[in-house]
Amino acid sequence: MPAPTPLPLRKAIWHRHHNGQTPATIAHDLGLRLRTVQQLLRRGRGAIAPSYQRCGRPRDDDSQQLCQEAITLRRQHPTWGAGYLRIQLRRRHPDATLPTERTLQRCLRQAGLGPAPKGRRPTANGQRAGQPHEVWQMDAAEQVPLASGQRVSWLRIVDEGSGAVLWTKVFPPGELVDGPAHRSPDRVA
């Protein structure tokens, strides 16, 4: 949608029209499109003030209700952005026509809620071990193919503080054995 014609220009159009100039002459002299001048003159003297209430699309009741629900959710969860709020609305209303992410952002801003903080939240324990042997990490890999085509698995223990590998056990996959459920497995572990 083009920008509204500025108020001084609108007044000049009406002043020139009142003095007997044709819409084509007014449009040429003021550098406007003829259609713009004709539409302003057709709307009458009340067209001097821009009619901003005609801008945009009116929201239907369902969309307004979903926006209000998003605002409520955002107040309960301040770190949720418009995209995640839309996901939550989809889970709650799977058959509804949801407002777009941008519409939700506008609704939140109009409700006085700023954008959600950027990035992901830090993990609960963001600190690593400070000394050797304070924390050990265990890592496992299964069915890793070697260049020979053989598959192997391994179990490794690493010291978190120093990064040193403390122990590694490499072994070929073994056959599954009967467990407490007394089932007989038919595949390789």
Three-state DSSP string of 62-126: HHHHHHHHHHHHHHHCCCCCHHHHHHHHHHHCCCCCCCCHHHHHHHHHHCCCCCCCCCCCCCCCC
Q: How confident is the model at residue 47 (pLDDT cuts 50, 70, 90)?
A: low
Please check whether residue 2 lies inside any domain of the structure.
no
Please indicate, yes or no, whether residues 91 and 139 belong to a single structural domain of this protein: no
Q: How confident is the model at residue 161 (pLDDT cuts 50, 70, 90)?
A: confident
Please indicate, yes or no, whether residues 35 and 71 belong to a single structural domain of this protein: no
For position 157, what pLDDT does the model report?
93
Please check whether residue 23 lies inside any domain of the structure.
yes
At 115-126, the pLDDT tens digits run 888 877 666 666
Please check whether residue 123 lies inside any domain of the structure.
no
Mean pLDDT, rounded, for 35-39: 90
φ, ψ (nearest 5 deg) of residue 153: -125, 160
Mean pLDDT, rounded, for 37-56: 75
Burial class (CB in 10 A: 0-12, 13-18, 19+), 16: middle
Distance CA 62, CA 72 (A): 15
Please check whether residue 18 lies inside any domain of the structure.
yes
Mean pLDDT, rounded, for 42-50: 75
Tally the domains of the chain.
Answer: 3
For position 179, what pLDDT does the model report?
63
At 49-96, the pLDDT tens digits run 766 666 666 567 778 899 999 999 999 999 899 999 999 999 999 888
Please indicate, yes or no, whether residues 48 and 95 belong to a single structural domain of this protein: no
Please indicate, yes or no, whether residues 177 and 151 belong to a single structural domain of this protein: yes
For position 8, what pLDDT does the model report?
87
Contact 74, 105 (CB under 8 A): no
Please check whether residue 80 lies inside any domain of the structure.
yes
Please indicate, yes or no, whether residues 182 and 144 belong to a single structural domain of this protein: yes
Please check whether residue 118 lies inside any domain of the structure.
no
Q: Which domain holds residue 42?
A: 7-54
Please indicate, yes or no, whether residues 136 and 85 belong to a single structural domain of this protein: no
Please indicate, yes or no, whether residues 185 and 136 belong to a single structural domain of this protein: yes
Contact 186, 164 (CB under 8 A): no
Q: How confident is the model at residue 144 (pLDDT cuts 50, 70, 90)?
A: confident
Please check whether residue 22 lies inside any domain of the structure.
yes
Please indicate, yes or no, whether residues 28 and 71 belong to a single structural domain of this protein: no
Please indicate, yes or no, whether residues 134 and 188 belong to a single structural domain of this protein: yes
At 11-34, the pLDDT tens digits run 899 899 989 999 999 999 999 999
Please check whether residue 46 lies inside any domain of the structure.
yes
What's the whole-model pTM score? Answer: 0.40
- The secondary structure of residue 53, as a DSSP letter, is G
Sheet holding 136-145, edge to edge: 136-145, 151-159, 165-171
